[in-house]
Amino acid sequence: MAMSRVVCFGELLLRMSAPGRELLLQTAQLTVHPGGAEANVGVSLAQFGHDVSMVSTLPANPLGQFVAGELRRHRVDTTHVQTRPGRMGLYFLTTGAVQRASEVVYDRVDSAFSLGSAADYDWNTLLDGVEWLHLSGVSPALNPAMAEATLAAAQAACARGVKVSFDGNFRPSLWARWEGDAPRILRELFACAHVAFADYRDIGVVLGGEFPQTDIGERVDAAAAQAFAAFPRLQWMACTQRTPHSVDHHSLGAMLIGRDGTRAVAAAREMVGIVDRIGGGDAFAAGILHGMMRDFDPQAIVRFGLAAAILKHSIPGDFNLVSEADVMALTGEERFDVRR
């Protein structure tokens, strides 16, 4: 069974979580997990059997060593993860309960990764023999230099015929910190993408469209039509539709729309007793990409992506540590008894 060579480029982070459902520092304890949007996708694809490499920069200290070691433990190649003096990007998570929402506090300013530049990465070498490059809208939102570095990666992939997977991941607070021109920069990234993980809100930010349709599916259809018209390279757009009923009870469905008019929908499923929703979107992206890399039909792709996202909600931490067989089991009949 042929698997793809994939490169993921982005910042690696440490997540510091309050234990259980406590408030942050309610007691003087924190649980540590590695993460980062692009790394989450890479780890998941590695669990599905793909050849995944991470391209990033970590601080030359024990925190950076820990994160690199965790990636290797989960089958991600870290040969092209550089180190330099500096600090580790952190974020702090308070998990919500009942009607109290979860809350994230970032502490990533001047991290080793964010102090880098486009000149740090030789994409002619890094993309040699690679079939897919995965990027997200988080990296260019950090500062002007990282916007340039992310664009350089995308444009190098386009020039080499490497397929670009781009997750919009619009973070207005990060863009606002340096008054970055998010629509312009994100348009350049979308223009290189083969597949985009985005919904009508992302397309509204990038292209300025308004989608007044009452039905969410119709809004996504209209946004996809606008995106395909604006970005000739773009072949697919995928997104989830989430309805939160409480912190630990959500409904989640998904759509996959193709330039050729394909429209595949995975009906919403109920998720009661959510353990951890962080990384759910990255798990969805990895599931969709895996389906495309394995040449599943569009309906099977979107069902696999949704099932992967749902399983992530049952796993603590940012990484979705499930196999293809685990996801396949959920795309069929749901079975909750012990598997023996």
User: Domain residues of the chain, as ranges?
Assistant: 5-11+37-77+118-331
Strands across the sheet containing 13-17: 31-35, 13-17, 89-94, 103-107
Q: What is the pLDDT of residue 340?
A: 46
Overall fold of domain 5-11+37-77+118-331: UDP-N-acetylmuramoyl-L-alanine:D-glutamate ligase (3.40.1190)
Q: What is the pLDDT of residue 209?
A: 80
Q: What is the pLDDT of residue 2?
A: 55
> Are the beta carbons of 233 and 191 closer than 8 angstroms?
yes
Q: What is the pLDDT of residue 333?
A: 46
What pTM value is reported for the model? 0.95
- HSE-CB at 165 with a 13 A cutoff on CA atoms is 28
Q: What is the pLDDT along the chain (340 residues), one digit of tens a residue?
A: 557 899 999 999 999 999 988 999 899 999 999 999 999 999 999 999 999 999 999 999 999 999 999 999 999 999 999 999 999 999 999 988 888 888 998 999 999 999 999 999 999 999 999 999 999 999 999 999 999 999 999 999 999 999 999 999 898 989 999 999 999 999 999 999 999 999 999 999 999 988 989 999 999 999 999 999 999 999 999 999 999 999 999 999 999 999 999 999 999 999 999 999 999 999 999 999 999 999 999 999 999 999 999 999 999 999 999 999 999 999 874 444 445 4
Give start and end residues of each alpha helix (H) in 121-240: 123-126, 144-160, 172-177, 182-190, 200-207, 216-230
Cα–Cα distance for residue pair 168/205, rounded to 1 Å: 10
Written in H, E and C, the secondary structure of 3-24 is CCEEEEECCCEEEEECCCCCCC
Q: Is the dihedral of CA 162, 168, 171, 176 positive or negative?
A: positive
Cα–Cα distance for residue pair 76/66, rounded to 1 Å: 14
Residue 11 in tokens:
């910042």
Neighbours of 318 (CB within 10 A): 25
- Please give the distance of CA 250 from its chain centroid, rounded to a whole number: 19
Q: What is the pLDDT of residue 1?
A: 53
